Amino acid sequence: MISISLAAQTPTLLLVIILVGCVLSVSVAAVARRSQRDGMVYWAVGLAMHTASLLVFSQISWIGEVSTLFYANVLRACAWAAFAEGLSEFYRRRPARTLIWSPVAAILLTFAFPGENLTLRIVVISLVFAAQDVLALWLMWQERDRAPGRGKYFLMTGLLIAMTILLLRAMQAARGASAAMVTLTGSSPIQTISVLAVLVVMMLLSIGFLLMSKDRADELNRILATRDELTGLANRRCLNDALASEWIRARRSDQSLALVMIDIDQFKRYNDHYGHQAGDECLKRVAQAIHSSVGRAGDLAARYGGEEFLLILPDTDAAAAERLAETVRKSVEALDLPHLHAPSGRVTISIGVAALGSGFHESVDSLLGAADEALYRAKHGGRNQVQVALASLPRGLPSGSAAGKLVQLIWRRAYESGDPEIDAQHQKLFVDANQLLGAVMVATDSSELGKLVDDFIADIVQHFQDEEAILTKVGYPGAADHAGLHRALLDQAFVLAERFHRGTLTPGALFEYLAHEVVARHILIVDREFFPALGSNGRKPLASDAPTDALTAT
């Protein structure tokens, strides 16, 4: 009784499915835009053809059995081919049109012989449609990792249900139930189940494909929100979020965290000479080289702004970050991009490295500032090099260990001013700085550290006084301004030293000021301005022994 009752409702169910199909096809067509290239246009056409095939089938008593089967099945075969075209476009694949449209030709061939057995015709048609389902499933399985979200599971479920029903129809037709499959009034449970299955399949296919398109759009929006449009690296917003979370994680778990700041050398001059389009291409090539050099999944390569990039390296100390930075530098150099205004004649980068060390960095801004300071030294030290922030070096290393000798202040002949007294005092300050560095790295007793700090500052005071006297004697026009710089440096040094003695400043932070500001920036950069007044006839320094090479890994 139940099966007869269901069968009696088959025409009504078919009418409902036709109405649903019309609504679905119009809805999909309304949101489909060819410019999106997500296959939705093909999907709307496929739904319309599938609905048209049902409409033709509903008029079997008026059109005739053979004509109805012909038009309805050709339309349905075209609908499945359109679905396959839509999937190919969604996955950005070149459609295999011979494979996609050959089932339509197969359906046409089944009607080439008017006297063909109805049972054989239904079996063949069902198997052809099942093969079209298999083709769509095979395509989706191949691209299963490229479709985000859950829409693909709705779609694959619909295809599996359709394939199952088609195989059941083929089996029932082979058992002699073919006549019941072409009537809308007879008591045929298989026909009723087929009609209900069509409704379910159409809903699953429509919902699944729409969800797939929505999921892709959401994924694209997420990428656009976190990726730099030009280079494809993480953008500043993503960088800030990642840096904040990695900082919290590193401080909470007492793990290392390194930052690598990268800047393209002479990029403005590159842009001015080659044009902005070439500049954009240069940025993309450099970004690709940076991204290729970062191998770990947890590392993040981001565009910091303009021609600057930043690497966030969790669980990485200064030494490992420096090795990676050198790999990045060599990768960019190996691109061999011509740069007329660069000393080497090709595009290069300068890199600053900073790592989280106990007691040295109390905030993200402090760590970023250390990386920026190291980059400054790399830029002003001749470019195309890697410099490490001294405050990033580990503390408590045993004396004489390899790590304890990682960084020293190295005196070079290129730093000579031509005045024996000034040069001797400069070298003495180098020795003072190295002694303090060694004491800091082996965690020397605070009283001994305090004596080294006081001696270092006393030598600086004496040197500044003697240097000012020499500059006044030779008539250097900027002597007064230079003396003003000395006073500013000493005022800051006295303040920091007092904080150190009170225990509110780490020795590493004090050393960083004395070594970077007094030695690297002032003695070896600012002092060069008065060298001509001393009558120095020394050689012009090379990029390889420029001022900030004083801070050299050994």
* pLDDT surpasses 60 at 140: yes
Q: What angle do CA 30, 33, 37 make, to 5 degrees?
A: 140
Burial grade of 366 (CB within 10 A; 0-12, 13-18, 19 or more): middle
What is the reported pLDDT for 114?
60
State the Cα–Cα distance between residues 141 and 152, nearest whole angstrom.
10
Q: Look at residues 383, 390, 339 and name the one whose alpha carbon lies nearest to residue 507.
A: 390
Given pLDDT bands bounded at 50, 70 and 90, which one contains residue 80? very high
Per-residue pLDDT, averaged over 97-103, amounts to 90
* pLDDT surpasses 60 at 168: yes
* pLDDT surpasses 70 at 403: no
Estimate to the nearest angstrom the gap between the alpha carbon of 235 and the chain centroid: 8
Given pLDDT bands bounded at 50, 70 and 90, which one contains residue 165? confident
* pLDDT surpasses 80 at 271: yes
Given pLDDT bands bounded at 50, 70 and 90, which one contains residue 280? very high
In the chain, what percentage of residues exceed pLDDT 90?
22
Count of beta carbons in the 10 Å neighbourhood of residue 464: 20
| 375 contacts 261 by C-beta, under 8 angstroms | yes
Could you write out the DSSP letters of every residue in 305-339? ETTEEEEEEET--HHHHHHHHHHHHHHHHHT--B-
Tell me the H-state helices in 227-317. 236-253, 267-274, 276-293
* pLDDT surpasses 70 at 356: yes
Estimate to the nearest angstrom the gap between the alpha carbon of 523 and the chain centroid: 41
Per-residue pLDDT, averaged over 365-369, amounts to 86
Could you write out the DSSP letters of every residue in 21-66? HHHHHHHHHHH--GGG-SSHHHHHHHHHHHHHHHHHHHTHHHH-HH
